[in-house]
Amino acid sequence: MAIPNKRRGRRRKRVCAFCADNSKVIDYKDLNKLRKYASERGKILPRRITGNCAKHQRALTVAIKRARHIALMPYNMD
């Protein structure tokens, strides 16, 4: 006999933090902001987790990679 699935509520789609607040700028030197979008292991979090739009996710990825390249951020966090 099959057990009926519980109804799951539909989650609200997350709004891009950069689109919602026009004054926010993605800068590779702003490490506090960039660390929010990296996991505890140092990996860049995907869009479905962060809720960013494609445009800002790409800019965020470039900024994190720039910060890593000039040694402001580590490539991996041990």
Write the pLDDT tens digit of every residue in 6-35: 666 677 778 898 999 887 789 999 999 999
Lowest mean pLDDT among 16-25, 33-42, 46-55, 64-73: 16-25
pLDDT value of residue 1:
65
68, pLDDT greater than 80: yes
Distance CA 18, CA 6 (A): 35
Kindly list the structural domains of the chain, giving each domain's residue range(s) and its CATH number in brackets, ordered by start. Answer: 17-69 (4.10.640.10)
- If you average pLDDT over residues 29-44, what whole number do you get? 93
pTM comes to 0.79
